[in-house]
Structure 1
Amino acid sequence: MTCSACGSPTVRFAVPADYRTVLSTAGSISTSVPDDHTHTLDSCTICTHCLVLEFGDDAEAADSEMDGPVPTDPDFSRVSDAFPTTPEQAVPLALAIGLAESLAMNRSAIETLLRDVERAGADPLLVLDRLQRDPSVEPAIDLGRRQHQLEQLLY
């Protein structure tokens, strides 16, 4: 499993049904899907280096060398020591980071996801701060700028 953007390893995870509904309303996902191709939002991968999120069929294509079901307990510690490891915290955070590329189009979905991270017991803004300081992580988006915007969104 390698990232299509940077070639680094990825972590594959299942997207719970509640989050599929949230993602289906996210503007940047639907606009990136070609009309002749049906995307599924059952699984995603997050890159351990650039934090790029690949949805549905893109994740499965990147994961084509791996047979079998999507892991039920993915190892999010491979992303960073700063990244939450419990799926209840890590999945919505990973999805929010993936959607943060386009805050304007995904504002509602990101807000829902970050609130779920908080309800699960993690501080998403603290995690973003720590990810920025992790030398093994080079996010494809400007996390510092996004962190400030996300803070305004949440508070």
Structure 2
Amino acid sequence: MTCPDCGEERLPFAVPSALREDVPGKPSSVLLCPHCLQLEPVENPDAELSDFTTISDVLPEDRDAAAAMTLATALLSSLALHRQRIDALLDRVEAAGVDPLLVLDRLADDPELEPNFDIESRRRQLLQLRE
């Protein structure tokens, strides 16, 4: 399925069960645009995303940490609405031994990503909220 925002082919992946409570609607799966990071909850996608480097090679190698980081980054489009969910997802990334703010810095510099929000400014806002 193509992204309604930018026309890129969206990537389906199953949301790990431990992360579902932190995704709006608690979906078992989502479609994610690897270009603009638009996220859509779905049930039973056709394929399973196992390589998060197709989104960005700066995402963690650990699959669950990469899923949590990807979901948190996509939810940054509405930081005010999803703050608690984002915090919970980033806590999971930190628990896996990855610095999520460093990953956000690197995602902001990734020329392949063009989300509908400024990752760098959301990172600064997030830093202030998490202090």
Question: Which TM-score band (shorter chain)?
Answer: 0.7 to 0.9
Q: CA offsets, 1:98-136, max 9 Å, x none?
A: 221222221111110001011112211111111111111
**RMSD after superposition:** 2.0
In the alignment, what sits opposite 1:53?
39
Instruction: Decide whether the 8 Å contact of 1:111 with 1:153 is kept in 2.
Output: no
Q: Distance in 2 between matches of 1:126 and 1:117?
A: 11
Q: Distance in 1 between matches of 2:57 and 2:22?
A: 27
Instruction: Decide whether the 8 Å contact of 1:53 with 1:98 is kept in 2.
Output: yes
Measured after TM superposition, the shift of residue 4 of structure 1 is: 2.4
* 1:9–1:75 Cα change, 3 Å: farther
Q: Distance in 1 between matches of 2:9 and 2:52?
A: 12
In the alignment, what sits opposite 2:72?
96
Map 1:3-152 onto structure 2 (within 5 A).
3-23=3-23, 29=24, 41-57=27-43, 67=46, 70-71=47-48, 74-152=50-128
Where structure 1 has 5 or more consecutive residues not aligned to the other structure, the ranges are: 24-28, 31-39
Structure label with greater radius of gyration: 1
Q: Distance in 2 between matches of 1:13 and 1:135?
A: 23
Q: Which amino acid aligns with 1:99?
A: L
4+ residue runs of structure 1 moved beyond 3 angstroms? none
Aligned residue pairs: how many? 131
Where structure 2 has 5 or more consecutive residues not aligned to the other structure, the ranges are: none
* Structure-1-length-normalised TM-score: 0.74
* 1:86–1:4 Cα change, 3 Å: farther
* Structure-2-length-normalised TM-score: 0.86
Identity %: 44
Q: Which amino acid aligns with 1:6?
A: C
